[in-house]
Amino acid sequence: MVGVGMELTLADFRRVLHFPAAVFSAIALQAALLPIIAWMIAQLLQADAQLAASLILIAASPIATSANYYVLLARGDTALSVTLTALSNLAALAATPLVVAASFEWLWHDDARVRLPVALAMRQLFLGLLLPIGVGMMLRRFAQDWTQRYRKYLQGGSAALLVAIIGVVLATQADTLAPGLGRLASATLLFTLASAGVGYALAAKFRCDSGARISLAIAFCDRNLSIAMMLAVAVLDRLDFVGLSAAFFVMQALLLLPALLLARRRRASFR
């Protein structure tokens, strides 16, 4: 996220004000549509209750911090992505528990009392998003020569770290990945394509440029699995969800990274 901040200025955030309707529509539509998409995918795949509940929990979570890094890789509108991520995570303090509780009550008649740990969620938002991005912006503002010299190294190191994380998850969660791998992979693929398609269509409806379309597509599909796991373990006592979420993260990253690098190359060729 420090690397993301090094690509931003305050002027970038002011440009976001040019399409406030798209921003707030995106936040509202994610809460309303993504759990329905998750439920439809679970029905299509005839998923068991465990996978269906996990998909809905993921869909009800806010935008992940990693979405900003993905947008940076694809050369999308990073300021828009950061704005969406911050607003989505703030809205999630109220929206995510309501959506999860309503979904569980509707589907399984489970009257779950879901309360998101506010202090923990706010700390995650501050330490994982706002603080490092602010540090990166300060470096760009007050250490321009250093930023120009090392920004590529930092981005390369971030990409290597992401690959390392995927490798660690694959190694440590092999037992979780093996059973039901095909159905989980299908669910991840369908959710990623459907949710990204909704985000892209929304951006097209508001006539956003290509950078904003990339940002909205990624914002819809990349969900905050930390929030999802926080709810699953601390509130719903669902330890099994940790392995499922790790598998979802790996599979989605393997889907997104080639597409994002292709988008980056195409955008570079048009400049």
Summarize pLDDT for 95-115 with one digit per residue, the tens: 887 877 777 776 666 556 666
Q: What pLDDT does 148 receive?
A: 79
**Does position 17 have pLDDT exceeding 70, yes or no?**
yes
Q: What pLDDT does 112 receive?
A: 60
Q: In one letter, which amino acid is 244?
A: L
Instruction: Please answer whether residues 81 and 218 qualify as being in contact, where contact means their C-beta atoms are separated by less than 8 angstroms.
Output: yes
- Average pLDDT on 22-47 reads 91
Q: What pLDDT does 258 receive?
A: 87
Q: What pLDDT does 6 receive?
A: 79
- What percent of the chain shows pLDDT beyond 90? 23
Q: What pLDDT does 173 receive?
A: 67
**Does position 171 have pLDDT exceeding 80, yes or no?**
no
All residues at 6 or more sequence positions from 73 whose CB lies less than 8 Å from its CB, including other chains: 159, 257, 260, 261, 264
Q: For 112, left (φ over 0), alpha (ψ -120 to 50), or beta?
A: beta
Instruction: Give me the DSSP letters along 36-64.
Output: HHHHHHHHHTT--HHHHHHHHHHHHS-B-
**Does position 196 have pLDDT exceeding 90, yes or no?**
yes
- Lowest mean pLDDT, pick from 112-116, 137-141, 234-238, 244-248: 112-116
- Report residue 29 as tokens: 């539509």
Mapped onto helix, strand or coil, the DSSP state of residue 116 is: coil
Q: What residues does each domain of the chain span?
A: 2-269
- What percent of the chain shows pLDDT beyond 70? 89
- Lowest mean pLDDT, pick from 73-82, 131-140, 259-268: 259-268
Query: Token pair 């607003």 is at which residue?
Result: 87
Closest alpha carbon to 35 in 50, 55, 62, 49: 55
Query: Token pair 């299908």 is at which residue?
Result: 186
Under the banding of pLDDT at 50, 70 and 90, the label for residue 90 is confident
- Lowest mean pLDDT, pick from 3-17, 50-64, 78-92, 101-115: 101-115
pLDDT, averaged across the chain: 82
Under the banding of pLDDT at 50, 70 and 90, the label for residue 217 is very high
Q: How far apart are CA 254 and CA 233, in angstroms?
A: 26
Instruction: Please answer whether residues 77 and 214 qualify as being in contact, where contact means their C-beta atoms are separated by less than 8 angstroms.
Output: yes
- Domain spanning 2-269: CATH 1.20.1530.20: yes
Q: What is the pLDDT of residues 111-130, one digit of tens each?
A: 566 666 667 777 877 887 78
Q: What pLDDT does 144 receive?
A: 82
Q: What is the pLDDT of residues 134-164, one digit of tens each?
A: 888 888 788 888 887 877 777 778 778 877 8
Query: Token pair 């009800």 is at which residue?
Result: 60
- Report residue 66 as tokens: 């990693």
